[in-house]
Amino acid sequence: MGTFTTADGTEIFYKDWGSGQPVVFSHGWPLNADVWDSQLCLVAEHGYRGIAHDRRGHGRSGQPWQGNDMDTYADDLARLIEILNLRDVVLVGHSTGGGEVVRYIGRHGTARVAKVVLLGAVPPLMLRTEANPEGAPAEVFDAIREGVRRDRSQYYQELSASFYGANRPGAAVPQGTRDAFWLMCMTVGLKAAYDCVEQFSATDFTEDLRRIDVPTLIAHGDDDQIVPIGAAAQKAAPMVKDAVLKVYPGAPHGLTGDYEEAFDRDLLAFLRD
């Protein structure tokens, strides 16, 4: 584990486990690197170097007032890759982290990147517009901001249900999983959490997706209540040359149990291919 300092003086925390080809994980909102611990162990145990950072404002990283925007997130990721002198990198991004990965490529290219994995990722655009009728209306994201500002602790507890599909009939989501989600959420600074809603909802990643020129796995659950597949993976896949779209029937946004095991198998297979 370590830290590095960004151009604007923000300290970023990261984990660095194992050795071999680097696999860099970017987490979703409003979580931190801990959400990737199982996958970090998985890749490290199979001969790869697993790395994951806490996005600025999240977890153990600094909580600056400024810089809570997608371009800066991408530049922070670039700084991590440069500081560790990583090459032949596999970038893995979940949800907002998928946007961070795609914007990194849009701004910094693929000179250091070997492969990309987007899991339940927000690109190309979550917000409903005239050109993007599949997106969610602005009122949905206004409600998220209101929940975060009004009582973020209660909001995050409630959000864990739809995040993991615990609100579906017959769902068996461990309470510990939901508690861990809440705990990670509560480490995010209020300003960062609030600002990030606009970034994951209103950022258009269309041109960034078109710049991806390395093998790409796009994985998504078809019962994702947070980032519905129709506005995300199903639109993103045709924009990325030769992308492979993997759909997990019945899977929610946050993968647990059999769904997580399926993704882990697909991730390892994609790394080895």
- Please state the domain extents for the chain: 2-272
Strands (E), 187-267: 216-221, 244-248
Q: Identify whether 195 is a catalytic site residue.
A: no
Assigned superfamily of 2-272: Alpha/Beta hydrolase fold, catalytic domain (3.40.50.1820)
pLDDT exceeds 90 at position 253: yes
Measured CA to CA, the distance from residue 10 to residue 67 in angstroms comes to 9
Which conformational region is residue 234 in: left (phi greater than 0), alpha (psi within -120 to 50 degrees), or beta?
Answer: alpha
Residues 16-57: pLDDT tens digits? Answer: 999 999 999 999 999 999 999 999 999 999 999 999 999 999
User: 27, 53, 220, 253: which one is catalytic?
Assistant: 253
Catalytic residue among 61, 95, 160, 201: 95
**Which residues, in sequence order, are CB contacts of 43 under 8 Å at separation 6+?**
18, 23, 49, 50, 267, 268, 271
Q: Would you place residue 1 in the very low, low, confident or very high pLDDT band (cuts 50, 70, 90)? A: confident
Give pLDDT tens digits for 95-150.
999 999 999 999 999 999 999 999 999 999 999 999 999 999 999 999 999 999 99
Determine whether 26 is an active site residue: no
Token code pair at residue 206: 């269309």
Catalytic residue from among 16, 76, 208, 224: 224
Q: Which parts of 54-126 fold into alpha helices (H)?
A: 70-83, 96-108
Which residues lie below 8 Å from residue 14, measured CB to CB, with a gap of 6+? 1, 2, 3, 4, 33, 51, 52, 53, 54, 80
Q: Work out whether strand 216-221 and strand 113-119 pair parallel, antiparallel, or are unpaired.
A: parallel
Q: Rounded to two decimals, what is the model's pTM? A: 0.98
pLDDT band at residue 187 using 50, 70 and 90 as cut-offs: very high
Instruction: Give the helix ranges, DSSP H, for 46-69.
Output: none
